Structure 1
Amino acid sequence: MQSRWVWLISKVGRRIWFRATLFSLAAVATALVAIVAAPYIPIGLSAKIGADAVDNILGIIASSMLTVTTFSLSTMVSAYSAATTNVTPRATKLVMEDSTTQNVLATFIGSFLFSLVGIVALTTGAYGEQGRIVLFVVTILVIGLIVITLLRWIDHLSRLGRVTETTQRVEEATVKAIQTYKADRYLGGHPLPAFRHRIGKPNHPIFVAKVGYVQHLDAAALSDIAEEANLEIAILTIPGKLAAPSEPIAWVNREIDEDITGRIAACFSIGDTRSFDQDPRFGASVLSEIASRALSPAINDPGTAIDVISRAIRILAIWAGNDGADNEISHPRLYVTPIDIADLFDDLFTPIARDGAGLVEVSLRLQKALTILSKFKDREYRENAKRHSREALARAEAALTIDQDKIRLRKAALAGKANP
């Protein structure tokens, strides 16, 4: 589990301005390196390059990169709008954090600044004859980088903001969150059953001062506090859960002072929205939102809902894997509430069953998916798959108008019930 500072740095690193700033600084440094390297260039070599060659090339790069950057920004904004309208606003964050888009824009901005600084330095005579040679060579390399970036950008634009591409990003983010969770599902502590909210008596509740979602939990810091104060901490509100001043986010097994209480509460990072990083259920919810929007009368795209159902099977298959089942106890004083598999089933399938009840093709695919999940070895999978099969069948029978469709759906549902 990442510490709070590592998590904050990773969040900043995914912002578009951060990468653009790094590329811009690198571009300025590259433009100025010619001044340092100038004394090492043979004097006779500078005569082979025209005096105005570098100036003209840099002028072309500066004007063209400014235009391309403006166009790319407008295209990026259009892609964000398309993702918000056609997919779901919750998925827009993943589109904004797309590394290819950020690298392209950063390259264009960096190339513009490189040429601008180069023109200014040439005008002031800072390079000299030898420095002009270095600048010319670097400029040729920058042109090659721009060409490669443009080719990548053209290919990437054909997919940016599209429903399938965005849905794929949501699935990948969900799978990554699941793998992170499974590798350390109890944050290095012990499992805390849902009914065991208190470790012992006397006990002390921990509250937060604001309403919001837990985006990150610093388990290592909590463990250090518990060791220092000789405490055991029961964590009730894991990342993805809603925290409020009226509900305790954790309990400790004895009375503590306000200073320790504040330090424990500070280990919970509260934000206005949920985050994909440590919250597998958020990714599942966003996937079902995509399916629900596709099933709305305004869009009427059952194919996307069927695609989401297939992705849901893959996600649950990864969750059912055995890797990470036995987590190492690195924080023995922590007791953590696990994610209930029933909640994950509800996040994925309830909205699709509700909104797709009147479409027989969606209901049939949903029953087939639940039949597949009912064959998993885990008893909880079988029980939840059969429960959702019954609920989806009841919704579909209430919405469908043709008896033949209902008969086909009942047969599909019976296939899942036949599994022991």
Structure 2
Amino acid sequence: MGTSRTTVGDAIQTQLWPIPTAAVVAALLLGVGLPEVDAAVGGELSPTASEWLFGGDAGAARTLLAAIASSLITVTALTFSLTVVTLQLASSQFSPRLLRSFASDQFVQVTLALFLSTFTFALTVLRTVRSAGAGDQSEFVPKFAVTVAFLLAVASVVALVLFLAHLTELIRVESMVRNVHREASGTMQALLSERDPGVGDQPPTLRPPVDAVRLFAGGDGFVNRLDQQRLLHVVVDEDAIVRLDVHPGTYVVRGTPLGTAWPLTPGSLSQEVADRIDDRVTGCVHLGFERTKSQDVGFGLRQLADVASKALSPGINDPTTAIHTLGHISSFLCDLTDRDLGPVLLRDQDDRARVELARPDLASYVDLGLSQPRRYGAQDPQLLERIAQVLLDLSHRVAPDQRPVVRDHLERLRATIDAQPFDSAEQTSLAALAQRIEERLGPPSTQTHGC
């Protein structure tokens, strides 16, 4: 249930409309209700309190409210325009995957909410202002409401200044990769437990029998969430064992295998039971048209790798950004070495393994973070030096059973370096750094592997 709430919260957070829409509704209700309060208590205010409220007549109130409404809708349009330009810049210059981070920025959402709610409130209050007319119609000026509209307008001016400053900070690449790194680290800490130093990454332990039935995807899209508690309930209810070969972040195609299922006791599943398990397990795998951070630890790393790769493209040609991003990739990968990676088992009340969920290991994450930058930056010795520094950082953090991962990428890096026409000084510098990594890892024969 907690994971479900996190997923729904993430879906709402990454949309620009929920907070502004809620603010508009609240402003509309306040604009209707506050003049009623004015009408009820307006004549009972003390002279001291009245001095702090709007003191003009109906004409002045209309002029002020009209000015607030017209100016705020213009400012709102400007704010939307600046936001769209920022989104376009982030998509074209850095990575389309960063648009979720921009859309979820609460400062932008609150600023838009303030502008729209001020406009709505001023327009709603304007309809209640009444001038003295023929007959017994008396003048009515909602002093409370007009004063609140004035204060909201002042707050909007301050918010506009802060928004421009925030937007300037937001579009800096340093801020973007820092925010992505922070979000990715939060997801990692929420989903991955601390690694037991005495236990290596566990290989899959549930081996399906030859007559195990396959489970197939019911739709197309990225796996956004696995409902683990519901999945465990299904296998216990059906007296079965399930092994899923997909994980959040995986793209699945309708009709392709998600995993396998077989009975808890020796035997085989009937076709009716197999179809029912297939249908119920498919309902536990929630798909979406894009990756999200709710259960996808690798999504943030994918974003960082995208920024580095985009910076190395001929159209952008910004290796400094790629080198800077590799620093965040290094930090994230080093933190992953302290986490429990690989497949995870779900157990029933009798402590029997009933569900095995696939989960990337350290090698998958390191490959995701380094392979594309190494390939696209193969001709830049400074970038290759930074990748070597990432491997050196990892060599200080990995456990003995994880060292083959670093060694494999070191050999791939050396092959890339050897294939380039670098001058002797560059070759010497890169070779010396590679040697430091080799010495740190130690001879392959001395490495121990987790069982």
Regarding TM over 0.5, the answer is yes
Amino acid at match of 1:152: L
Look up the equivalent residue of 1:288 and give its one-letter code: A
Shift of 1:396: 2.1
Aligned ranges for residues 17-416 of structure 1 at < 5 Å?
17-38=17-38, 39-43=40-44, 49-52=55-58, 53-122=60-129, 132-183=142-193, 193-194=203-204, 196=206, 198=208, 200=209, 202-254=211-263, 255=269, 256-321=273-338, 333-416=354-437
Where 2:24 maps in the other structure, the secondary structure is helix
Q: Deviation per CA, 1:41-64, whole angstroms, max 9, x where unpaired?
A: 444659862223433322121011
Tell me what 2:266 maps to.
Answer: none
User: 1:330 offset after TM fit, Å?
Assistant: 6.9
Q: Check 1:136–1:341 CA distance in 2 against 1; reply closer, same or farther (3 A cut).
A: same
Whole-Å separation in 2 of the counterparts to 1:223 and 1:54: 64
1:6 to partner: Cα distance: 5.3
Unaligned runs of 5+ in 1: 186-190
- Contact 1:295/1:356, CA 8 A, preserved across alignment: yes
What amino acid is the match of 2:288? Answer: G
Separation in 2 of the partners of 1:124 and 1:89?
54
Measure how far apart 1:300 and its partner are.
1.8
| Structure 1 residue identity aligned to 2:385 | L
One-letter code aligned to 1:149: A
CA shift in 2, pair 1:122/1:375, >3 Å: same
Once residues 46 and 341 of structure 2 are traced to their aligned partners in structure 1, the CA distance between those partners, rounded to angstroms, is 62
Distance 1:272 1:247, change over 3 A: same
Shift of 1:76: 0.8
Q: Which one has the largest radius of gyration?
A: 2
Distance in 2, matches of 1:20 and 1:341, equals 41
Name the SS for the 1:418 alignment partner: helix
Distance in 2 between residues matched to 1:310 and 1:323, nearest whole Å: 23
Per mean C-alpha deviation after superposition, the further-off stretch among 240-249 and 365-374 is 240-249
> Percent sequence identity over matched residues?
23
- State the 1:150 CA deviation: 1.9
Contact 1:233 1:250 in 2 (8 A): yes
Cα distance, 1:247 vs structure 2: 3.2
Rate the CA distance shift 1:290–1:55 in 2: closer, same or farther, 3 A. Answer: same
State TM-score, norm by structure 1: 0.88
Match of 1:85, SS state, is helix
Letter of the structure 2 residue corresponding to residue 293 of structure 1 = K
Shift of 1:276: 2.5
| Distance change in 2, residues 1:217/1:130 (3 Å) | farther
In the other structure, the counterpart of 2:449 is none
**Coordinate RMSD, CA, aligned:** 2.9
Instruction: Specify the code of the residue in structure 1 equivalent to 2:336.
Output: W
Give the secondary-structure state (helix, strand or coil) at the position aligned to 1:7: helix
Distance 2:321 2:68 in 1: 42
**Once structures 1 and 2 are overlaid, which stretch shifts more, 171-180 or 304-313?**
171-180
Is the 1:240–1:282 Cα contact (8 Å) retained in structure 2? yes
* CA deviation string 1:294-344 (max 9, x = no partner): 11222221111111111012102222235899x996766322222211000
TM-score by length of 2: 0.83
Could you tell me whether the CA contact under 8 Å between 2:302 and 2:368 is conserved in 1?
yes
Task: After superposing the two structures, state which structure 1 stretch, 47-56 or 220-229, moved more.
Answer: 47-56
